[in-house]
Amino acid sequence: MLQQNFQNKNPYIINLLNKNSLFLAESICRADKNACIIIAGDIDPADSKQVTDAQNSGYLVTSESVLTVALKNLRSSKKVRFVLMHPEEEINLDQALKLTNMLRGKMYAEIYTVNTSKVSECLIDSIDKGSPDSEVPPIKLRRVNLVRNQVYLDILNNSIFENPVLEYNEKIICVLIAGLGQYGMEMLKAILWCAQMDGYVLRAHIIDKNPDIESVFYRHCPGIRQRGTQPKSGEDYYELNFHGGIDVNSIDFDDCVRSIASVSLAFVALGNENINLETAIRLRSLFSGIKIDNGEMPEHSRETKQNPRILTVIQHPEKASLIKENRLSNFKNEYYQLDCIGSASDMFSYENIFMPQLEAMALKSHLQLGSETDFNNYEYNRRSSMASVIHKKYRDMLMPDNETKDIVEHRRWNAYMRGTEGYSFGFIRDDLALRHPLLVKYDNLGRVEKDKDLNMNSDNISTIF
């Protein structure tokens, strides 16, 4: 099929036909002008419009499974990319493992599978992908966490350091997170490490309907609790404030927001996009009211960005477009100045699935410490290196000539390990137990480890992104 129809094209095989796969196909074709799209799998005969739309766009649609399509094209000399994005993630995982076993050593292939469970990470890391010394390159197998990718790309492209609150001699990054579900948890974990910077302190307020939300967070990140609440030189530091048992539709929510007052970033992720949008609009009203009560008149115009940034999760593409274009206003044409992530067109995009630029920079960073094989085989290495690269962008911008970059990098690594990876300090490293002896202040590191932190600052990458 591939050889007959797409001899001089770059094949992308998607295991599902729906609106999301059409968003992805369109995005792929914009990014890769030589792309050809094959949509394979269970095609609903009743949904003739989507089939017609796909065919009119030049895509090949077949009811054969991706496994059958792959078997028929084992001799293809082209690199073939498979995107497994079925809403039933077990189907994606099953197909990813079968494709890897089937194609290993026989086809130059990349497999991107949408899966979020820890089990899927372990299985994907463990499967044999082929030898780097063989004639056919090893299978490039990637687990795609759509939500985490969205959060990382947003933090990469939108600085959390732009609207600090001045307090004594420090700049406070005050973040309000409404809803600690999957989106809220990923955002909080990412901000923990991203905010580690000389002269800045992170102060996070987490509001959730669950009265036991603090325990939920510390179950994921016990090392954060172990870290303590007092700042230590050369250690990661953050101030976390949990406000559990608060419904966003209650007066308690309004009172809580007013008590926080000076916020740099508000993130709303409550699991329902209508509630998200209502809450985001309510927050803009509350923040504007606080300014008026303090004798400040907030600016309402298309040209002037209001503080704080209010970011919310909106899946509907048309709603998301309206918000991103800053066209959401009240009856006086006063703009709410909201932003959003999570729309289907963003989630299922070339950038969010493949993350080409960020992964390339992450590989370059990882090669200072390890091998390309370890980078490709283990998601832990890729995830860690991506976080390091994102943070380095801001280190280069905010600390261009600062001699403490290595200390700040260690602080970031501490926050990353405690937050994203869930590690705690242990006198002996045990990765099954999630214990690490280097979760200490910078001065307690040996010379070898200090040199590693220094090497992570060798290249200036702020102008690359």
Q: What is the DSSP string of 148-176?
A: HHHHHHHHHHS-TTSSPEEETTEEEEEEE
Q: What is the pTM of this model?
A: 0.92
pLDDT of residue 254: 95
Task: Quote the CA–CA distance of 440 and 407 in Å, as a whole number.
Answer: 11
Write the CA distances from 22 to 81, 84, 95, 356, 435, integer angstroms.
16, 13, 20, 20, 43
Nearest Cα neighbor of 188 from 133, 230, 238, 228 is: 238
- Rg for the chain, CA atoms, rounded: 24
pLDDT of residue 306: 39
Are the CB atoms for 269 and 233 separated by under 8 Å? no
Low-confidence stretches of the chain (pLDDT < 70) are: 1-7, 44-46, 76, 261, 291-306, 459-465
Are the CB atoms for 192 and 415 separated by under 8 Å? yes
Task: Quote the CA–CA distance of 280 and 270 in Å, as a whole number.
Answer: 11
What residue has token string 């999301």? 20
Are the CB atoms for 359 and 140 separated by under 8 Å? no
Write the CA distances from 411 to 59, 220, 278, 391, integer angstroms.
48, 19, 37, 11
Task: Quote the CA–CA distance of 85 and 15 in Å, as a whole number.
Answer: 7
CB atoms inside a 10 Å sphere around CB 409? 22
pLDDT of residue 179: 97
pLDDT of residue 305: 36
Are the CB atoms for 386 and 152 separated by under 8 Å? yes
For residue range 392-440, list pLDDT tens digits in order: 999 999 988 778 889 999 999 999 999 999 999 999 999 999 999 999 9
Q: Is the domain 150-347 a CATH 3.40.50.720 member?
A: yes
Nearest Cα neighbor of 3 from 70, 56, 61 is: 70
Task: Quote the CA–CA distance of 362 and 290 in Å, as a whole number.
Answer: 42
Residue 334, classed as helix, strand or coil, is: coil
pLDDT of residue 246: 97
pLDDT of residue 302: 31
Looking at CATH, the fold of the domain delimited by 2-144 is given as Rossmann fold (3.40.50)
pLDDT of residue 465: 56
Domains of the chain by residue range: 2-144, 150-347, 351-455
Task: Quote the CA–CA distance of 239 and 47 in Å, as a whole number.
Answer: 52
What residue has token string 């690199």? 79
Is the fold of 2-144 the same as that of 150-347?
yes
